[in-house]
Amino acid sequence: VAQEAVGLARHYRCVGIGVGPANLSLASLIHSHSDITNLFLDKKDSFGWHDGQQIPGSTIQVSMLKDLVSLSEPTSGFSFLAYLTELGRIYHFLNAQFETVPRQEFRNYMEWACRKNENIVFGHEVQSVDFTNVFHITTNTMTVTADNVVIGVGVQPSVPPAARPHLGPRQFHISEFMAKSKDLGGLRVGVVGGGQSGAEAFLDLVSRPDESLPRRVVWISRRPNYLPIDDSPFTNDYYSPNYSDYFARLDSATRQALNARHILTSDGISEATLRLIYQRIYTRRFVDGCADLVALYPNRTVVEVSSAPGSAWRLALAHNEHEAVSESIELDVVIWATGYRPTPLTFLAPMQGRLEREGDEYKIDDSFAVTWDGPTENNIFLQNAARGQRGLADQNLSLNAWRSQRILDRLRGVRTEHQVDPFIEWVTKPATGDLQDDQP
């Protein structure tokens, strides 16, 4: 039996599928609860966090307190501060006065949390989950059983249909940036996508030393301009437990409308990155004399991709405000920074008919458990796969520790959460006459 050969049991209270920040948070919080036997499986050979686009100089977009555990269990040995302390670099970190933590350092922290946790194993791709009395989780090499399953398989790269036939060494998604963007010196390079990924790629390309600097760097975005993330205090309340619960109780149409309206609170570009980009363009053009290095094309959608004479590509662009005008651009290399989509949960196929859906998502309850026709003590929990029901925060690092705590509480049959009321009255209050009635 394969799992015994590698020292694994046959049955667990909880099996996690995927070890990105979401399930790693739960694996860290659950670690001290030895009564809840658990195993977390990931298909990768070892831990990684979007390593293909670990662009030098990039930083995380949230507070370092939004680590795996701190916002629900600040005394945990799996916190970012515990990592810095254990490695003897806490004073160095403090004195470095980072405004935001380097993304590579946050990744290294999560890798450290994996290494400390004997319940995490890599090299196991889950292929199916079925239920008869218990869940049967089958990977490429073994089957284990569990009373509960927690899915955290995250996101996968997305490119527009027009690009798909052309993907290869000279046309690729940003998730392959580190491997495929090395030799771009002297070439015409296009970045498509006006989110943080596109911004970081553009900044990297225009910052390269002369010998490896592209001849031209074109940045295309469908958004009207290169728009910033809104990281201000009241906006950040959207990324709090209180708001997440409020949001979940709204009707579906309102939830979809709010997600569309608030997209830049999640997917806008960090102001620091925008400033660096603008300054770099200024320096290139007016100080270094590279007059035509940069071309900026916001407010346009790439609608067609074809081969141009030689080895180049031709992109056809539709301008959002001048639909009758068609533009085209010739490029040697195209980098698609066109986002990510939820990883399809194909391994749930054997149970498909038993799980309730809401639109294109599985319907979840307050503890992130999928609504189904099975026993209430057996559950499939979903992390980062319910944006439509839980809002934009669902895919973000902000609520990781809180969401994992909710799941853990459900497994333990307790409620440990403590949140005082938000400053904002999100929930309507039935009229009671005089507003003064509410005053202390």
Ligand X SMILES: NC(=O)c1ccc[n+]([C@@H]2O[C@H](COP(=O)([O-])OP(=O)(O)OC[C@H]3O[C@@H](n4cnc5c(N)ncnc54)[C@H](OP(=O)(O)O)[C@@H]3O)[C@@H](O)[C@H]2O)c1
Sole window of 136-144, 188-196, 398-406, 412-420 interacting with ligand X (rule: CB under 6 A)? 188-196
Considering only the stretches 58-66, 274-282, 297-305, 366-374, report the one whose residues sit in contact with ligand FAD under the rule CB under 6 A.
58-66
Q: Are 148 and 411 in contact (CB under 8 A)?
A: yes
Return the range that interacts with ligand FAD (CB under 6 A); candidates 2-10, 42-50, 184-192, 365-373.
Answer: 42-50
Asked if 396 interacts with ligand FAD (CB under 6 A), we say: yes
The residue from 12, 14, 15, 18 that contacts ligand FAD (CB under 6 A) is 18
384 is a contact residue toward ligand X (CB under 6 A)? no
State the number of CA atoms in the 13 A half-sphere of 147 facing the CB: 11
**Distances in whole angstroms, Cα of residue 61 to Cα of each of 79, 106, 337, 358, 373:** 18, 11, 17, 30, 39
Q: Cα(280)–Cα(19) distance, rounded to whole angstroms?
A: 37
How many whole angstroms separate alpha carbon 361 and alpha carbon 371? 11
Residues 6+ apart with CB under 8 A from 91: none
C-beta of 305: minimal distance to ligand X in Å? 9
Secondary structure (3-state) at 69: coil
Tell me the DSSP string of 346-395: GGGGGGGGGB-EETTEE-B-TTSBBPBSS-TTSEEEESS--HHHH-GGGG
Q: Binding to ligand X (CB under 6 A): which residues in 34-73?
A: 58-61
Give the 3-state secondary structure of residue 158.
coil
Among 15, 39, 60, 331, binds ligand FAD (CB under 6 A): 60
Cα 28–chain centre separation: 19
Q: Which stretch binds ligand FAD (CB under 6 A): 37-45, 108-116, 165-173, 317-325?
A: 37-45
Among 223, 387, 390, 403, binds ligand X (CB under 6 A): 223
160 binds ligand X (CB under 6 A): yes
Q: How far is CA 19 from CA 24, 105, 112, 161, 214, in A?
A: 5, 18, 13, 29, 36
390, interface contact from ligand X, ligand FAD, none, CB < 5-8 Å by kind: none
In what helix (H) or strand (E) does residue 247 lie, and over which residues does it extend?
helix 241-248
Question: Shortest gap between Cβ of 435 and ligand X (angstroms)?
Answer: 39
Number of residues that bind ligand X (CB under 6 A): 26
What binding mask, one character per residue, do residues 188-207 give for ligand FAD by CB under 6 A, x or -?
A: ---------x----------
Among 93, 347, 368, 381, interactor with ligand FAD by CB under 6 A: 347
Q: Contact, 285 vs 291, CB < 8 A? A: yes
The Cα–Cα gap between 301 and 326 comes to 11
Report the partner that residue 343 touches, choosing among ligand FAD, ligand X, none (CB closer than 5 to 8 A by kind): ligand FAD
Say how far apart CA 228 and CA 305 lie, in whole Å: 28
Residue 41 binding target from ligand FAD, ligand X, none, CB below 5 to 8 Å by type: ligand FAD
Which partner in ligand FAD, ligand X, none is near 190 (CB below 5 to 8 A by kind)? none
Piece of 86-94, 191-199, 253-261, 342-350 that binds ligand X (CB under 6 A): 191-199
Smallest CA-to-CA distance from 11 within 134, 129, 124, 125 is with 134
Nearer to ligand X, 145 or 299 (CB): 299
Nearer to ligand FAD, 238 or 313 (CB): 238
Which residues make up the interface to ligand X (CB under 6 A)?
Answer: 58-61, 103, 160, 192-198, 200, 220-223, 266-267, 301-302, 337-340
Which residues make up the interface to ligand FAD (CB under 6 A)?
Answer: 17-23, 41-44, 49-50, 53, 60-62, 125-126, 152-155, 197, 340, 343, 347, 383-384, 395-398
